[in-house]
Structure 1
Amino acid sequence: MKRLVMIIALLLPLISMAQESTARLGSINYLDTKKSYKAIKLGGDIKDLKSEYLFKLSETPDASGCYVYTYNDPALLNFGNGVVLKRLQVKTYVGLVSSIYLFFEKEDGNRVRDVFTTAYGSNYTQSNSEEDSYLWKGSLATLYLTYEKELSAAMYTSVAMDKIISQRKANSASSAASDL
């Protein structure tokens, strides 16, 4: 399984380079090309992050086989546009970054959304006009933003790694069911 994940992780940059010529700021292609929050790359090795800022939350993986880390690099906690993140977390699967979580105060939500709209365009899905929840959906990465609660969040997710994790969970459930 780790070999499959590594192969996919190696192929994704090649796809990104092919898309880079068409990726422009303000488009969903920009999300697919960047696949990152600043220096944290979806599909990147967790070992590429500065270890002095990285703290594993548990030595035991979650139900998906993933580990979650808090990353306290001051340069990355400064989101920009007057927003300082309250917390930054990274979720990994077999040592590769599968998701990036940004936590911020609710009152910063409009400024965060403005930055994302500038970067990835206004081609997002909104759950309904009365909720502050947005989804930018690329072919390689997704970004979900919600700022309805006091501590609000944005979540970058690798589409390919999410499929692998979902398949692993389905296989595990199927295996358990056949043992009944």
Structure 2
Amino acid sequence: MGIGKIGLAASAVVLLAAAGCQSERISRVDTRPTPLPAAPAGNVTASQLPPPAPTSFPETPPAAPNTQVAAIDPNAGAAPSAPVTEGGVAGVWNVSVGGQSCRVATPRTKFGQGYRAAPLRCPAPLDGVKSWAVQGNQMILYNDSGSQVASLSSSGPEKFNGTTSSGSPVSLTR
């Protein structure tokens, strides 16, 4: 008898659900808006463009008789480089070490001696670089035990030159 009541209840639910689908309140799903009328197209014509108008730049005023002009001393040393900052070092660098090329990612994620570093297909000893830090105008690369792998000095914007701890030359450029 218990199964009969369950069957009756299930039949009632199915009938109510089917009746709900027949309701006028639910509109058809596949209705589409009426298409827009075609817009009139104009005629296409071809002609030459007029010649460009001449531009005139103002003349440079003549120099005053007592004007002083700055001169660069060719014997002067190079201009001091901008200070190295963590924000300026963060990114991906093209590396040349011992005649081989690779890349090193230097995100600003705290780790080890400073920030995490990720060498990408670099030869030894740079394949063991795990962190980097800025000290003055230098970028120092460290391995996972905190030992210095390379020390590089800023050589202008977007460039560092230095040596590995074994003495091999290293350069980083962007």
Normalised TM-score (structure 2): 0.20
Which one has more relative contact order, counting CA pairs under 8 Å at least 6 apart?
1
Which one has the bigger helix percentage? 1
Q: Looking at CA atoms only, which structure, 1 or 2, has the larger radius of gyration?
A: 2
TM-score normalised per structure 1: 0.19
